[in-house]
Amino acid sequence: MSYKLIFFLLSSLLLSSCSSNYNWGWYIINPFLDSGSTNIAFLVSGLYITILISFFSILISLFLGFVIAITGLSKNKYLSLFNRIYVEIVRSIPLLVLLLWVYYGLPILVGLSLTPFLAGIVSLAISDSAFEAEIFRAGILSIPKGQHEASKSLGLNSWQRMRYIIFPQALRFILPPIGNQFVYIIKMSSLVSIVGLADLTRKANELVVTVYRPLEIYTFLVLEYLLLIIIMTYFIRLLEKKLSKY
């Protein structure tokens, strides 16, 4: 999206709000002004961190979620108990609380000090993994028992059955809710700004303190997250359509 298009969207919002008594100051993010271009570049500079932390958090949460889901499908009662305890505890902890505990608590308890970036990834991945685990577990359980029995009759071991028979079929049911979790991680990544990570939200907060125009800056921030999530959703929909053909 070009700077001019962003400015057009913001201008449209301004025109739709003409009846308000608020004195809008869109000049601070006007791409045709030197100061506006500088402010826009500053705000957009946090996009790299937001995308990077979301990407790694998604990868790790998918791996953790799958592992936790497998323990929940196990006939071993201890593994099943571990699954239930992990899922219930993690789902009950607000992400912000978990982030603060990881960042400030781990150095005190175990002497492990994480950077804001690593603390954000760990917190997001752990928080999301519990939801991912339930999605994986439900998707795998949705496959008829006949498929499991047929794969056993082929002489495949547990890993081969999961890899070649069960999971490819379950993926069609798993992908839509997994896509929702991807969006969730992108939105929740804004919380890492509280520990000083220079993501989109942190950049917006810093600029607000400088120019004292919170409504305009946070409106621009909304558009940034909206664009990011629309792009993410678009590719997820494409993948869903591709899988639906098989």
What's the topology of domain 49-193? MetI-like fold (1.10.3720)
pLDDT tens digits, 87-126: 999 999 999 999 999 999 998 888 888 999 999 999 999 9
Task: Identify whether the C-beta of residue 221 lies closer than 8 Å to the C-beta of residue 208.
Answer: no
Give dist(CA 84, CA 197) in Å, integer: 33
Q: Is 150's pLDDT higher than 80?
A: no
Q: pTM for the complete prediction?
A: 0.85
Strands in the chain per DSSP E: none
Q: How confident is the model at residue 51, as a pLDDT?
A: 94
pLDDT tens digits, 222-244: 999 999 999 999 998 888 887 76
Rounded to an integer, the average pLDDT of 217-222 is 92
**Which has the minimum average pLDDT: 60-64, 89-93, 174-178?**
174-178
For the chain, the structural domain boundaries read 49-193
